[in-house]
Chains A and B, each alone.
Chain A
Amino acid sequence: MDTLNALAHGFSIALTFQNLGLALIGCFLGTIIGALPGLGPSNGVAILIPLAFSLGLDATPALILLTSVYYGAMYGGRISSILLNIPGDEPALMTTLDGYPMAKKGMAGEALALSGIASFVGAFFATWGLVFLAPQLVKVALLFGPAEYFALFALAFATLGGIASKNQAKAAIAAGLGLGIAMIGVDGQTGVPRFAFGEVHLYDGIDFLVAIVGLFALSEVFIFLEHRGTPKATGDAAAVKLGRLTPPLSMLKQTAPTMARSTVLGFIAGVLPGAGASLGSFIAYSVEKRLVDKDNTFGTGDPRGVAAPEAGNNAAAGGALVPMLALGVPGSGTTAVLLAMLLALNITPGPLLFTNNPDVVWGLIAALFIGNLMLLIMNIPMVSLFVRVLLVPPRYLMPAVAMISFVGIYGISGSTFDLMVMVFFGVLGWLLRKLEVPLVPVILGILLGNQMEANMRRAMTISDGDWSALFASPLSIGLWLFAFFGFIMPIVAGRFFRSKLPRTDSDADPD
């Protein structure tokens, strides 16, 4: 009952005029960002964080705006998948398999509407899952000491890296790079400068917002520059006819069990650290194909093949918020970016968040429900409006994206030096993406590096320098084992898994 009371309190916060307005703007912007080929939830949220920050929004409204963008982008990803066969981001990849064939059969409108409904079902029930599971996880998290936290961070790197990349060594390099960047600046424990090379600007360390915007948003601009003139860089939705915008009742009946199963699977995939939305949509689609595809219609425009990944990836997006809020460990690339948001607002996610900032947590969760409903209402009748956005050519869009990134960072710091650092990270992000080094572990390293070190040193202080303390409790041993298998498993299972995944250009995209 406590939980429901807290949720009711959350609704009283989220239902203010300002917050409703922000949710509406966020949903709208998010859907557009998700719909545009190349811009996924991580990029979208990354560009908007510095903006929300420099506009001086309070913590709760800022979070409401950005999570609405996040959910909106998860919804929007399906639009370009279905109409153009170009997934806006990796989780939307599976939707192309049956969505695009449906559109080619002249059922684009139905496919869009059905995927909108499936997204709603997935996200709605996943948010309920979040309501009930997160407080339980908090109880477990209260048993964590510094050693357990250190192991948990290791687990996050191992699994997030393991799934995000085809090559474990590259995931490990990415994590090390991020952790190394986090070391720049004054050491929190002893106050000595590290890796600053006498440069005063570096004493404060590298601002993770600068790094994130550079790595995600600017690198995207460079990718577009490189692909100029190829289909990836020239959106063309002019030829698509939408058809009717409501799915027939029979189609909903046929896909209802699919949505239910995919929601559960997606949610579980989202909660598991590191798995995230890509795995959610992949698992939902493959399980559904195995279960119901008796006539081999999957891949040829089967509505169930559209409903499954959409319910799965939106449920996973909700599920990924569970470990992010309760433990402070993000379950996907986009939640890593949301974690950056919280840290920028001086809110540290983790068990104490629920007792220290209940307004933030429950206001946020209530906002998810509201945003989800808004998205459903917005997405069925207004889908033709979003489709028109696909007609804006990247040659006008990407410069605007780049300039808005600069505006956001300059708005926070007013420092030319930070802009240079951002450009540096843009180039670095572009190089890493070319070399198929995943970006998410880099971000995670920058975000968690200092906390990870602090927990390790705290554990050492308690044990007076005895390293075995890191492996002393059953809880920490369990976490280490998970981390170990999370890192090793993809090497074994990865080949099998990836051989079944369709290859597209978006393979190197984050999240």
Chain B
Amino acid sequence: MSDRIMGGLGLLLALFFIWQATLIQESFISDPVGPKVFPIIIGVLVGISSLAIFFKPDDEPEWPEFSRLFEVGMTVAVMVAYAYALPLIGFVVSTAFAAGFLSWRLGTPPIKAVIAGVTIAVGIYVVFHLILGLSLARGPWGF
């Protein structure tokens, strides 16, 4: 079933891609092919292979149970939040939080996870910023 869904989505994506390709503005400088043709070729390729998958799907992959999927989703949310937080509260604080969260979700007990998060954040800060001179995000406190 997963492959059928993927095939269907792939076909929709291919159609959308081809439709968008036809909307590309032609420029006054152009070559015999133009900017539309290659994307359309790609769209056709994706479309045909999506159809092949739709009609000849592989065995069902092992999807994790819902709770695990939810965790992956939560982790993605934390990562997105991390990206937003970096310039606001600085590298060390946001990284300690994100790394601690990840470590906790990977099975570390909460208190150890906090320690792991802080250690990872400070460790990366020392190695990459203080020793190697890489510029990391600065928050209101300068780190």
Cβ–Cβ contact B124 & A170, under 8 A:
no
Residue of B nearest to A188 (CB): B35
Residue of A nearest to B105 (CB): A225
In angstroms, Cα B74 to Cα A226, docked, is 12
Cβ–Cβ contact B120 & A192, under 8 A:
no
- A396/B103 contact (C-beta < 8 A), A226-B68, A403-B95 known: yes
Choose from A170, A187, A226 the contact partner of B35 (Cβ within 8 Å).
A187
Cβ–Cβ contact B86 & A416, under 8 A:
yes
Cβ–Cβ contact A435 & B6, under 8 A:
yes
In angstroms, Cα B75 to Cα A398, docked, is 13
Q: Which residues of A contact B17 (CB under 8 A)?
A: 180, 195
- A399/B124 contact (C-beta < 8 A), A169-B53, A190-B30, A423-B83 known: no
Chain B contacts with A in 1-58, Cβ cutoff 8 A: 2-3, 6, 10, 14, 17, 20-21, 24-27, 29-35, 38-39, 42-43, 45-46, 48-50, 52-53, 56, 58
Chain A contacts with B in 392-413, Cβ cutoff 8 A: 394-396, 398-400, 402-404, 406-407, 410-411
Cβ–Cβ contact B124 & A400, under 8 A:
yes
Choose from B2, B45, B71, B102 the contact partner of A172 (Cβ within 8 Å).
B45
Query: Would you call A248 an interface residue if the criterion is a C-beta within 8 Å of the partner chain's C-beta atoms?
Result: no
Query: Would you call B142 an interface residue if the criterion is a C-beta within 8 Å of the partner chain's C-beta atoms?
Result: no
Choose from B27, B29, B121, B133 the contact partner of A403 (Cβ within 8 Å).
B121
Cβ–Cβ contact A400 & B99, under 8 A:
yes
In angstroms, Cα B42 to Cα A228, docked, is 38
Against B, the Cβ 8 Å flags (1 = close, 0 = not) of A423-450 are 1001100100011110000000000000
In angstroms, Cα B24 to Cα A190, docked, is 11
In angstroms, Cα B98 to Cα A218, docked, is 14
Cβ–Cβ contact B49 & A222, under 8 A:
no
Residue of A nearest to B63 (CB): A434
Against B, the Cβ 8 Å flags (1 = close, 0 = not) of A34-60 are 000000000000000001001100000
Choose from A187, A410, A434 the contact partner of B136 (Cβ within 8 Å).
A410
Cβ–Cβ contact A453 & B76, under 8 A:
no
In angstroms, Cα B11 to Cα A173, docked, is 10
Query: Would you call A5 an interface residue if the criterion is a C-beta within 8 Å of the partner chain's C-beta atoms?
Result: no
Query: Would you call A355 an interface residue if the criterion is a C-beta within 8 Å of the partner chain's C-beta atoms?
Result: no
Query: Would you call B61 an interface residue if the criterion is a C-beta within 8 Å of the partner chain's C-beta atoms?
Result: yes
Cβ–Cβ contact B42 & A179, under 8 A:
yes
Query: Would you call B134 an interface residue if the criterion is a C-beta within 8 Å of the partner chain's C-beta atoms?
Result: yes
Q: Which residues of A contact B132 (CB under 8 A)?
A: 55
Q: How far is the CB of B34 from chain A (nearest CB, A)?
A: 7
In angstroms, Cα B137 to Cα A456, docked, is 42
Q: Which residues of A contact B123 (CB under 8 A)?
A: 400
- A176/B120 contact (C-beta < 8 A), A194-B24, A461-B31 known: no
Query: Would you call A175 an interface residue if the criterion is a C-beta within 8 Å of the partner chain's C-beta atoms?
Result: yes
Residue of A nearest to B134 (CB): A411
Q: How far is the CB of B89 from chain A (nearest CB, A)?
A: 13
Query: Would you call B87 an interface residue if the criterion is a C-beta within 8 Å of the partner chain's C-beta atoms?
Result: yes
Q: How far is the CB of A236 from chain B (nearest CB, A)?
A: 13
Cβ–Cβ contact B31 & A457, under 8 A:
yes
Q: How far is the CB of B96 from chain A (nearest CB, A)?
A: 10
Q: How far is the CB of A119 from chain B (nearest CB, A)?
A: 29
Choose from B38, B50, B61, B100 the contact partner of A435 (Cβ within 8 Å).
B61
Q: Which residues of B contact A55 (CB under 8 A)?
A: 132-134
Cβ–Cβ contact A173 & B105, under 8 A:
no
Residue among B63, B79, B116, B121 with the highest chain A CB neighbour number at 10 A: B79
Residue of A nearest to B85 (CB): A416
Given A169-B52, A170-B53, A189-B31, 7 more contacts at CB 8 Å? A176-B42, A195-B39, A224-B106, A228-B68, A396-B116, A419-B82, A434-B63
The 3 nearest A-B residue pairs measured at CB: A465-B32, A419-B83, A176-B46
Question: Could you list which residues of chain A lie within 8 angstroms of chain B, going by C-beta atoms?
Answer: 51, 54-55, 166-167, 169-170, 172-173, 175-177, 179-180, 183, 187, 189-195, 218, 221-222, 224-226, 228-229, 233, 394-396, 398-400, 402-404, 406-407, 410-411, 414, 416, 419-420, 423, 426-427, 430, 434-437, 452-453, 456-457, 460-461, 464-465
The contact sample of 6 A-B pairs, CB cut-off 8 A, is A55-B133, A169-B53, A180-B46, A192-B26, A407-B128, A457-B31
